[in-house]
Amino acid sequence: MKINFLVCFSIIAHSVAFVPHASSIIPSRARALYMSAIDDLGIIEEAEERMEKSMESLSKSLGSLRAGRATPDMLNRVFVDYYDVPTPLSQLAGVSVQGSSSLLVDPYDKSSLKLIEKAIIESDIGIMPSNDGEKIRLNVPQMTEEKRKEMSKTAKSLGEDAKVSLRNIRRDTVDSTKKMAKDKDLGISEDNEKDALDSIQKLVDGFVKKVDDIIAKKEKDIMKI
User: Which domain range does residue 77 map to?
Assistant: 69-141
Please tell me the predicted confidence (pLDDT) of residue 3: 40
CATH number, domain containing residue 97: 3.30.1360.40
The predicted model scores a pTM of 0.59
CATH number, domain containing residue 157: 1.10.132.20
* CA–CA gap between residue 18 and residue 148 (Å, rounded): 67
Please tell me the predicted confidence (pLDDT) of residue 26: 30
The answer on 30 and 77 residing in a single domain is: no
User: Has residue 50 been placed in a domain?
Assistant: yes
At 122-146, the pLDDT tens digits run: 987 878 999 999 999 999 877 788 8
- AA letter at 135: K
The answer on 123 and 74 residing in a single domain is: yes
Please tell me the predicted confidence (pLDDT) of residue 178: 85
The answer on 54 and 76 residing in a single domain is: no
The answer on 207 and 99 residing in a single domain is: no
The answer on 118 and 157 residing in a single domain is: no
User: Has residue 48 been placed in a domain?
Assistant: yes
Burial of residue 93, with CB atoms counted within 10 A of its CB: 0-12 exposed, 13-18 middle, 19 or more buried: buried
The answer on 219 and 153 residing in a single domain is: yes
- Which of 75, 146, 65 lies closest to 104, judged by CA? 75
Please tell me the predicted confidence (pLDDT) of residue 48: 93
Average per-residue pLDDT for the chain: 80
DSSP codes joined into one string, 28-60: HHHHHHHHHIIIIITHHHHHHHHHHHHHHHHHH
What contacts 24+ positions apart, CB below 8 Å, involve 60-64?
Answer: 61/158, 62/155, 62/158, 62/214, 62/215, 62/218, 64/125
pLDDT: which is higher, 2 or 212: 212
Please tell me the predicted confidence (pLDDT) of residue 124: 78
At 186-220, the pLDDT tens digits run: 556 677 778 888 889 999 999 999 999 999 999 98
Count the Cβ atoms, other than its own, within 10 Å of residue 184: 8
The answer on 73 and 10 residing in a single domain is: no
* Contact call for residues 16 and 27 (beta carbons, < 8 A): yes
User: Has residue 169 been placed in a domain?
Assistant: yes
Please tell me the predicted confidence (pLDDT) of residue 43: 78
- Count: domains in the chain: 2
At 15-62, the pLDDT tens digits run: 333 333 333 333 444 444 444 445 544 778 889 999 999 999 999 888
The answer on 85 and 193 residing in a single domain is: no
